Structure 1
Amino acid sequence: MLVDVPLAHLDRPFDYAVPAKDAATAVPGARVKVRFAGQDVDGFVLARTATSEHTGRLQPLRRVVSAEPVLHPEIAELTASIAERYAGARADVLRLAVPPRHAATEKEPSAAAGPSPAGAPDPATWEHVVHGPAFLSHLGSGAAPRAVWGSAPGDDWPLMLAHAVAATLAGGRGSLVCVPDQRDAQRVSAALDAVLGPDHHVVLSAEAGPAKRYREFLAVSRGARRVVVGTRSAALAPVHDLGLLVIWDDGDDLHAEPRAPYPHVREMLALRATQQDAAMLVAGFARTCEGLLLLRSGWAHELVSTRAVVRDRARVDVVPAEDRAVGSRVPRAAYDVIREGLASGPVLVQTPRAGYAPSLACERCRTPARCATCAGPLVLGGPTTPPTCRWCGTADPAWACRECGHRGLRAPVRGEARTAEELGRSFAGTTIRSSSSERVLTEVSDRPDIVVATVGAEPPAQGGYAAVVILDTWLTLAREDLRASEEALRRWLGAAGLVRPGGRVVAVGDPALPVLQALVRWDPAGFAERELADRSDAHLPPAARLATITGEPGPLDDALTLLDLPEVADLLGPVPLDRAGAAPRDEQRAVIRVPLASGPALSDALGELQRVRSARKLDAVRIQVDPLTI
């Protein structure tokens, strides 16, 4: 019995007696209520046995909540591995694996899948990828190939993934596709409908309501559907006869679970592929250092398009940015590309910030504009609105610089709304469309419009964009983060990948920067090699295993005292936690680093620390293994 108690020292199965009245319904995987520590708590039946190692009297089950087996044996095993890998409690992982029960939905039968797909998977969709048709052939034969695929510009990647799923289904096995967000899930779902036909897959995501989400989960659990596409909430879906696991754009931070024990979808799927002997595809326009490590270890093989295909698909250039002090941020070369692109189709303009003017400064002395009430940064919401504080919302129409007294303002950073306004003046008569977090466009037509989009909100165009322009690359690289360059290239490749074959891509920035040179050459693999080499020299992830412990000074000192680290471990800190822009808190953070080979030993040590702290009821600290940011 697995009891839903998130206490590390009680994180193990317990034996209970099954009353005769519940003998038929207390099946493995069923939800039950049990008495634990003087109260009724939820639990799952792991297995039924005739004997027990417990020498005393067993407590009986209180009742069977539902006879529906929702926790399958392979998922139960996987949750244990994930909890061990991330030094967390198994109960927290179970909440990710099994959605909340919806009693009325559970009584409904799951409709059978539609008729078998009429057509076979088409290897032609993968012909331009070296060894791509062979990968599909292995999937169809029941093998378990594992690959890291770098998509080429203009690839219809949802359709290509759909044919990989079709090949797996033709071999009698199921598939699971994890994407970063709901828009990507809808694109893959539409491609699966086109290739497999309707009623062959389900979409699992957090955006679905409780009833719909549970209904789709039950369809998978009961074997009515063997193809699942979804966001990170779908990573532990109980697909029957699992044959293929796919993660698209594994560098997107949406794949990292924000709740304890903070697992990453890529790592969960890799563990699952190993345990269930399934194929795995790590796919995306960019390549992460973690994906490169999978290739170096021999666990996966590379799938890429030839250089000739990449050259034919898109021409990528970098043009120097003009002096921002003059007020022009779009150089003449970029304007020319936009004008040429509009002659044949839509043009995408990517800008890293939303809003109108998300940052303001004094026009004369360049001092950042601050709120007189709370000292927060001032922003402009539109051309006719007064400066407003981003923190407290106070408007300051009579703002004056505290340093020089000047009342003029300038915008060092311009958002997507201001960019659309500027382009509207430059291209009179052209429709300008905006896509950002406030209103994300799902798709645009092939009309010659200009689409201004923030990062992650770029809508695909029918037939692809005639041209893509990437603005303010300096701002994307300005993040103080270990993965700043890797993340910048991922964002730019994601936008450039939406271009149609033969289209133009222009990035505005410093042509000498290695990350922009990687974009020009469309060489995410080479950039990942250099990035990983630099991180190896500095002993940084993923070349090393890293963990952080965060908490108030007293509890953190207790945790570090109790922690039995491997001899090869480096303890860095503790140091005060930097919370820029947030309310100050008396928290500190310690960083623990070990060589990659000692990663399991570090997880074991942190897991033991969690159990000791839980048993002694010590104050809470937050432990993260392999955090995305340090």
Structure 2
Amino acid sequence: MTARRVARVLIDSPLPQLDRLFDYEIPDDLASAAVPGVRVRVPLRSAGRVVDGYLVEIGDPDASDRPLSELDAVVSPVPVLTAGLYALARRAADRAAGSASDILRLAIPRRMVRAEKAWLAAEAPARPEVTEESLAWAREVLSAYPGLAEAVDAGERLAVDAPPSPAQLPDGTPVGSWAVFLAAAAVQTLGSGRSAIVAMPDHRDRAQLEAALAAHVPADALVRDDAKRSGPERYAAFLRTLAAVPCTVIGNRSAVYAPVSELGLVALWDDGDPLLAEPLSPGVHARDAALLRQELDGGALIFAGHTRTTDVERLVAVGWVRDLPAARRRSPRVVLSATREGESRGARVPSSAFATAREALESGPVLVQVARPGYAPVLVCAQCRHPARCAHCGGPLHAARPGAVPACSWCGRAATRWACTECSGTLLRMASSGSERTADELGRAFPGTRVIVADGDHPVPQVEARPTLVVATRGAEPPAVGGYRAVILLDGDRMLMAEDLRIGESCLRWWSNAAALAAPGAPVHLVGVGGAVARALATWTHAGYARAELADRAPLRMPPTVRVAAVDGARAAVDAALMELRRSVPELDAEAVLGPLPRNDAMRALVRFDYGLGPRVAESLRASVVAAAVKARRPAKGRPAGPANTLRVRVDVPDLDL
């Protein structure tokens, strides 16, 4: 019998039971086109239809008589799935008890035929050249961190506190010093003939880094991986990363999967930002994907930020990541601003911060950070102070502008005849001030001063170096030319009230990122906040705060001192998964499982486990997901099929939320 050529295919399907390689015979007419990495279409006998997939590898010739279906078609001649990308997707999925196809759906953009044809018709990109002037500039910037350049060349894993100050490019564009620092690391890496990947939370950060790189990296070697770009642009950028010459990739969380050649650096900016946490299954955080990428492909790994997350500090503590300090410690001038004697304890802006703003406005812009956008994001009953809720869905009511009819923040319905459910009162009172109301109040307090609102609905790219009050929500603060002459951080006490295990970390990150926009020596007022978080900001000892947080969480077995998996689904499926987990991993202690308890018409249990048990826990939970899915699709005789997914698993949830 003649041996058959066998293609091993990963099917692009959300069904967990299909997360493995399937063997297909390669017909003679597809022999030349069927190469590893191409998109293919294959028959799925169990479903009686043709599905998409990736040809992962060519198996050994098969001379047996086992029945094999044939490949139906090769969709594209471009091998978009490299061996390294598949290995990374497989490792990331196994660690998160998920499917490799879900990872690849995030890493590989949809095929765009015109962009692909243009790429195939174009000449192969030339090897990029970095000028000696750019290399000298990079070495000078990196010299602020002794040993950093050598550590990047040696492929080390590093935690770096970025310089907390504004910078200005030769063309006058204001950027953060962190962007200049990461640009220098990428330029040095590209100059050594290797690729660099820099992932960051959003497009505002990407724009700053792109501006810092523009003068030093050739345009054809700078690749943007941005979800806001059109489909053809994203696919064309992805095809560029497949070239056999190095490049520099900058983008959001999916950029860590870019299949570049000769990887020399993966850098992650501000890993505590929730935008770097992948919301789609299997929910692999960009930080974890970067760690896996560095372990598989080598090269250096840099975690940079104005603050230190407990996740990175844990890696430093166990010796997996090295803390590399700057030669000279720099920090903003933080003032813990409180109300003075004779002032109302409820005063939103104390006299000291007010006086600072008035003085600073004589020479330049002033930044005021607030917690929420809008005019009055929270309304309460004027009589009993009970939160005002929507009569239809129970959502909170807010006012879009002065005198406007209150509306629900959830369903959008207008509350024209609202009555309090506690006291039957009909009058409302504003319980908090949003960015627009704060702008109105400060505009009256500083007549004749220009006031700008910067939030999600009003993005502001940058601010000129003239007297301006900028009222911005956390994370939407625009850089100012020359830096802000003063920064006032309001609503800190309300931010800390959020029911979140990591709210202290989050607040410290929000405040620190805003403080880093201040001009050198400019005052930064933190209003109405004390305690460990305020001291960490005032002394700029973020790593110490992260260490203290880890020490507090360790006895309670809270993340990230341990890993936590959430198991959701029908009661029978959850119970079966927990029973199998106990059998497969007997080392789990008696208090490892919390629940199950009712949650959103289902049951939820949390599993806490040490990092060393991670592979076995993930394997057991993944097997339970597959078993539950197979059982749901194969009902007992005479019974209708149940829901396709009766069990869901999410590994590395950020907190203990039952």
Structure 1 and Structure 2 fold alike (TM over 0.5): yes
TM-score by length of 1: 0.92
1:47 is the counterpart of 2:65? no
Q: 1:58, 1:394 → 2: CA distance? A: 58
Q: 2:557, 2:208 → 1: CA distance? A: 39
1:210 is the counterpart of 2:195? no
On the 8 A contact 1:345/1:449 being kept in 2, the answer is yes
Per the alignment, residue 402 of structure 2 pairs with: 383
**What is the CA-CA distance between 1:401 and the residue it aligns to?**
4.8
Decide which of 156, 170, 181 is 1:145's aligned counterpart. 156
Structure-to-structure mapping, 1:206-285, within 5 angstroms: 206-223=227-244, 226-285=247-306
Q: 1:399, 1:7 → 2: CA distance? A: 47
SS at match of 1:482: coil
**What is the CA-CA distance between 1:551 and the residue it aligns to?**
2.1
**What is the CA-CA distance between 1:198 and the residue it aligns to?**
2.6
Q: 2:423, 2:290 → 1: CA distance? A: 57
**What is the CA-CA distance between 1:232 and the residue it aligns to?**
1.2
Per the alignment, residue 614 of structure 1 pairs with: 629
Per the alignment, residue 580 of structure 1 pairs with: none
Q: Deviations over 1:84-124 (max 9, x none)?
A: 10001111112112111111110013563586222243222
Q: 2:390, 2:528 → 1: CA distance? A: 32
On the 8 A contact 1:205/1:232 being kept in 2, the answer is no
Specify whether residues 224 and 398 from structure 1 end up closer, same or farther in structure 2 by C-alpha distance, changes over 3 A only. same
Q: Which moved more, 1:419-428 or 1:317-326?
A: 317-326
1:317 is the counterpart of 2:335? yes
On the 8 A contact 1:351/1:470 being kept in 2, the answer is yes
Decide which of 517, 522, 529 is 2:535's aligned counterpart. 517
Equivalent AA in structure 1 for residue 215 of structure 2: A
**What is the CA-CA distance between 1:332 and the residue it aligns to?**
0.7
Specify whether residues 52 and 346 from structure 1 end up closer, same or farther in structure 2 by C-alpha distance, changes over 3 A only. farther
Q: Which moved more, 1:564-573 or 1:106-115?
A: 106-115
Decide which of 82, 87, 99 is 1:89's aligned counterpart. 99
Structure 2: gaps (5+ residues): 1-8, 167-176, 634-644
Q: Which moved more, 1:407-416 or 1:167-176?
A: 407-416
Q: 1:229, 1:46 → 2: CA distance? A: 27
Decide which of 560, 563, 576 is 2:598's aligned counterpart. 576
Equivalent AA in structure 1 for residue 330 of structure 2: V
Structure-to-structure mapping, 1:28-427, within 5 angstroms: 28-37=36-45, 38-52=48-62, 56-109=66-119, 112=125, 116-118=129-131, 119-121=133-135, 122=137, 123-129=139-145, 131=146, 134-139=147-152, 142-154=153-165, 156-223=177-244, 226-305=247-326, 309-311=329-331, 314-320=332-338, 328-396=347-415, 399=418, 401=420, 403=422, 408-427=427-446
TM-score by length of 2: 0.89
Specify whether residues 24 and 136 from structure 1 end up closer, same or farther in structure 2 by C-alpha distance, changes over 3 A only. same
Per the alignment, residue 593 of structure 1 pairs with: 608
Specify whether residues 617 and 517 from structure 1 end up closer, same or farther in structure 2 by C-alpha distance, changes over 3 A only. same
Q: 1:50, 1:124 → 2: CA distance? A: 53
Q: Which moved more, 1:157-166 or 1:47-56?
A: 47-56
Q: 1:260, 1:321 → 2: CA distance? A: 47
Number of residue pairs matched?
A: 614
Specify whether residues 447 and 197 from structure 1 end up closer, same or farther in structure 2 by C-alpha distance, changes over 3 A only. farther
Per the alignment, residue 625 of structure 1 pairs with: 651
Specify whether residues 225 and 102 from structure 1 end up closer, same or farther in structure 2 by C-alpha distance, changes over 3 A only. farther
SS at match of 2:103: helix
Q: Deviations over 1:514-548 (max 9, x none)?
A: 11110101111000000011111111111111101
On the 8 A contact 1:202/1:225 being kept in 2, the answer is no
On the 8 A contact 1:434/1:453 being kept in 2, the answer is yes
Task: Quote the sequence identity (%).
Answer: 39
Equivalent AA in structure 1 for residue 227 of structure 2: A
Specify whether residues 115 and 623 from structure 1 end up closer, same or farther in structure 2 by C-alpha distance, changes over 3 A only. closer
On the 8 A contact 2:142/2:185 being kept in 1, the answer is no
**What is the CA-CA distance between 1:210 and the residue it aligns to?**
0.8
On the 8 A contact 2:487/2:515 being kept in 1, the answer is yes
SS at match of 1:575: strand
On the 8 A contact 2:625/2:647 being kept in 1, the answer is no
**What is the CA-CA distance between 1:137 and the residue it aligns to?**
3.4
**What is the CA-CA distance between 1:226 and the residue it aligns to?**
1.5
**What is the CA-CA distance between 1:499 and the residue it aligns to?**
1.3
Q: 2:422, 2:68 → 1: CA distance? A: 75
Equivalent AA in structure 2 for residue 453 of structure 1: A
Specify whether residues 236 and 55 from structure 1 end up closer, same or farther in structure 2 by C-alpha distance, changes over 3 A only. farther
Q: 2:189, 2:442 → 1: CA distance? A: 47
On the 8 A contact 2:41/2:73 being kept in 1, the answer is yes
Q: Which moved more, 1:453-462 or 1:242-251?
A: 453-462
SS at match of 2:360: helix
On the 8 A contact 1:153/1:501 being kept in 2, the answer is no
On the 8 A contact 1:15/1:52 being kept in 2, the answer is no
Please provide the CA RMSD for this pair: 2.2
